Amino acid sequence: MDRILIEGGVPLEGAVEISGAKNAALPIMFASLLTAEPLDLKNVPDLADIASTQKLLQHLGVSATHVAGEPSRMVLHAPSILSETAPYDLVRKMRASVLVLGPLLARTGAARVSLPGGCAIGPRPIDLHLMGMEKLGAAIELEGGYVHAQAPNGLTGAEIRLPQPSVGATENLLMAAALAKGESVIAGAAREPEIVDLADCLTAMGARIEGAGTSNITIQGVTSLHGAGHAIIPDRIEAGTYAMAAGVTGGSILLKNARLDFLGAAKEVLEAAGMVLAPAEGGVLARVAPGGLKGSDAMTRPFPGFATDLQAQFMALMSVADGAAMITETIFENRFMHVPELARLGARINVHGASALVRGVKELKGAPVMATDLRASVSLVLAALAAKGQTEINRIYHLDRGYERLEEKLGAVGARIERVP
Ligand code: UD1
């Protein structure tokens, strides 16, 4: 299994190109199931999760191929659906696979999707996805670890109230409602930029959607959708991660293609912690303010709040700040697996329930550590970039799920990083 070796202590300087957003690309790839015509996507990142999705879609009858000479362009085409089953071994690897449910049900009237099972960051149920599909008229049964959804006469528009703004449930319901009969309203919808990107792509395919990006989305169902071209938005989590790579090493990085408005409260949180994020030519410039990093609190919230997917990285940043920071996780249970690994590098962190108190230290020291999930892993990379001496990160397949060409991008801004088999 590959490992990453990092020799820390170099302030990172230069520019990093931000890739297309994984979490926007995944639902949009699943949207290809909704039409018999090709969906032509640009800015698709080259990641393990994208490859898993490609594999699942191919199993269902979608040809999903890269365009020769254009590695970030992918054409997905589902003239007919060959299977209505998303099997366990494909769903297990990636929770977002549950996003086949809405599109399959809407297109064919039936879907069998393996329950995703537990995952490293808490139980993560799919009850809201199922409740919404039932509201749209689907009959849902659970059998043998599979969700079996049926709507032989098609789905019917309905008002669905989400008690919690689930990103995945909003996306699944948006895709299902696009082909339902009549009007649907998703109240309490998630407002993430990835939802807006999915809605933009569906609209280009002929869907009638209003209010994406707000808590109330209205969809007028149409009888069929057509092919379209769409470019995926830049990855706000990748941008926030590289911003903090600049911060933790005391450097300065131009985040090419990044959008400040997509960072939501992360901008204010990072600025309160002693960083500056400013619009710059072609993107956003991230650097440490003259006073240096200061301990500052953060609480994860749905967008536009501070993203849970940046929580681990912020903890690495606060590990070397002057003073203490209280970091509270409100979205997922059990999302502090990075704490004991950061402690191996010398970070001083105490966890009390859903909050972690981080007391900044003068210096972290390199050590062997183990990656546990995607964002936890990259927090170890950030801490290692700041640490004195060498850090060896094991189980890095987690990083390949969500960070495109990580070593290359960090190497280009001066990091001493290498992947060894
Ligand atoms: C998406 C992102 C993930 C991010 C998360 C929160 C993708 C592929 N993944 O995950 O990176 O961390 O949003 O921003 O876009 N919940 C339920 N019942 C449900 C669905 C969710 O109780 O049916 C709960 C979850 O357990 C969690 C909260 O709602 O506590 C938010 O989850 P959700 O927004 O659905 O996250 P995902 O879409 O899985």
Each of the 421 residues of the chain gets a pLDDT tens digit; together they read 889 999 999 999 999 999 999 999 999 999 999 999 999 999 999 999 999 999 999 999 999 999 999 999 999 999 999 999 999 988 888 889 999 999 999 999 999 999 876 455 556 789 999 999 999 999 999 988 899 999 999 999 999 999 999 999 999 999 999 999 999 999 999 999 999 999 999 999 999 999 999 999 999 999 999 999 999 999 999 999 999 999 999 999 999 999 999 999 999 999 999 999 999 989 999 999 999 999 999 999 999 999 999 999 999 999 999 999 999 999 998 899 999 999 999 999 999 999 999 999 999 999 999 988 888 999 999 999 999 999 999 988 889 999 999 999 999 999 999 999 9
Strand ordering across the sheet containing 298-299: 298-299, 324-328, 355-359, 348-352
3-state secondary structure of 6: strand
Strand ordering across the sheet containing 13-17: 13-17, 252-256, 283-288, 275-280
Closest atom of ligand 1 to 165 CA is 34
For residue 412, how far is its CA from the centre of ligand 1 (angstroms)?
33
Q: Are 109 and 153 in contact (CB under 8 A)?
A: yes
What are the beta bridge partners of residue 288? 275
Question: Which amino acids are annotated catalytic?
Answer: 119
Cβ of 28 closer than 6 Å to ligand 1, yes or no, is no
Prediction pTM value: 0.97
Given ligand 1 and candidates 91, 147, 167, which is best to mutate, with the most ligand atoms within 8 Å of its CB? Answer: 167
